[in-house]
Amino acid sequence: MAKEDFFIYPISFLALAPAATASTVLQIDASADFCWYYGAYSADVAAAGQTASSRVYPLVNILITPTDSNAQFMQSALPLTHLFGNGENPFVLPRMRVFAAQTAVTIQVTNRDAAQTYNLFLSLIGLKRFRV
């Protein structure tokens, strides 16, 4: 039986300018498969202070493509909040998604806002399933 442990893969997009597109590659650890259960995000505008009532809902689209299948998770980029909730209410995936060890996952975001620059932080929350 494989040993499992809670784990979060964090992804940051800092200073995402209006109408800009950015991408990064998340590399899954070679020692363990990753079972993704929840998606959470936080965002701010120039690190401005926030309260529950002034929380930033970024106008950002996201597209995710893992190399283990080379199939995008969605037909086309969709609003971030369709796949990521906030830390108090994370998005629950309808089915756990397992990324095999050493899988590369490309995450692309596009700022749809005409004036706002965002700092965006994503969390893929789940568990590592160590290969023993």
| Domains present along the chain, CATH in parentheses | 4-130 (2.60.120)
CB atoms within 10 A of CB 121: 17
pLDDT of residue 42: 94
Average pLDDT over residues 111-119: 94
pLDDT of residue 55: 84
The set of residues, in sequence order, having a beta carbon less than 8 Å from that of 93 and lying 6+ positions away, is 36, 37, 38, 39
pLDDT 10s digits, 59-107:
999 999 998 887 888 889 999 999 999 988 999 999 999 999 999 999 9
- Enter the DSSP assignment of 85: B
Phi, psi of 81 (to 5 degrees): -70, -5
Pairing of strands 118-130, 78-79: unpaired
- pLDDT at residue 1 is higher than 60: no
pLDDT 10s digits, 7-40:
999 999 999 999 999 999 999 999 999 999 999 9
Strand, coil or helix: 60: strand
pLDDT of residue 38: 98
CB atoms within 10 A of CB 25: 11
pLDDT of residue 54: 75
CB atoms within 10 A of CB 52: 7
